[in-house]
Amino acid sequence: MDNTPLTIVICTHNRANLLQHTLVSIREAYRPPHCDLNVLVIANACKDRTIELLKTWQNVADFPSLRYYEEPRPGKSLALNLAIRKIDHGWLAFVDDDHRIDHDYLTAIVDAIHAWPEATMFCGRILPDWRGDEPTWVHDTGPYRVYPLPIPCFELGETPFSVTKDDRIPGGGNLIVHRDVFRRVGEFSTHLGPEGHNLRGGEDSDLVLRALHQGETLQYVPSIVQYHHIDTQRLKLPYLLKKSFQRSFSITLARHPHSRSIPPYLLRKLLHHLVQLTVSFDFMKFRFHLMRIAGTLGEMTGMITALNRAPEA
């Protein structure tokens, strides 16, 4: 069996403490034979001890070959695109700096590459790294459940399948892409994606949608697992509202980049939730409609932004 060239790509911004946990999980993961593993970290406008940490990890004996570069301009898409330019072949496995990889993550990737040779992209599951002390409402599945969840979760079931543009589109936190895809499809849009730690995103969904439209094959493999760090600040109402707005904005901009008007149904939806809010005397119901208002406003803002945005060069 030929060696599988695989580079773990991490873009990080002032999260040295969390990045440490990510790197530890890579060191502790099982490394399958016939896997040529490297790690590439892009320090995006970092002002903390990230560079010092990376220099230390370059000297860890049992760690894969580690390279790092600095992207001084804030913006995750800029960091991702720099990473792409520093890799000329093989597979790129994207890992967020607040994730840890499963012990069998690398094995699952290599097995998937050989099991589905026609696939040019893979995605897996992202699960909240719950510790058991979280509030019960995060697990609620009732009519007034919180969504989007404050801690990212991506799961499409226990059965592998080929993802289409009509399915739920994965984010970039657990995406594996062959280097040639970027030559055919292009890089991440610099109009989209977070700057610093704001909640704007969409750069990953935009890339995946462009790739699917151009004929790339995306395979969902549930055994490819990453775990998302639990930040308790994300469990508070201001964060929930901000995330609802920003994620709706980003997804709308990615799915409707050429929008020319605000659809009337969005105005009807906004009015519906405003009316329901006024008669919501239960906190869970009140929170639900408040988040739906924030999300609808995010959709409308995304439509307006697409309307006014200049074409990307």
Per-residue confidence in pLDDT tens, the chain, 313 aa: 678 999 999 999 999 999 999 999 999 999 999 999 999 999 999 999 999 999 999 999 899 999 999 999 998 999 999 999 999 999 999 999 999 999 999 999 999 999 999 999 999 999 999 988 888 888 888 999 988 888 888 999 999 999 998 899 888 889 999 999 999 999 998 888 676 555 566 788 889 999 999 999 999 999 999 999 998 888 889 999 998 998 898 888 877 777 778 889 999 999 999 999 999 989 999 999 999 999 999 999 988 888 876 454 4
Distance CA 161, CA 171 (A): 17
- Please tell me the predicted confidence (pLDDT) of residue 232: 85
- Please tell me the predicted confidence (pLDDT) of residue 312: 47
Distance CA 34, CA 44 (A): 32
The rounded percent of the chain whose pLDDT value lies above 70 is 95
Which residues fall within 8 angstroms of residue 118, CB to CB, at 6 or more apart?
A: 217
Four-residue CA torsion sign, 209, 110, 24, 55: negative
CATH class of 4-231: alpha beta
Distance CA 124, CA 160 (A): 9
In tens, the pLDDT along 31-41 reads: 999 999 999 99
Tokens of 166: 């009509």
3-state class (DSSP) for residue 127:
strand
In tens, the pLDDT along 131-172 reads: 888 888 888 889 999 888 888 889 999 999 999 988 998 888
3-state class (DSSP) for residue 42:
strand
Under DSSP, the state recorded for 26 is: H
3-state class (DSSP) for residue 223:
strand
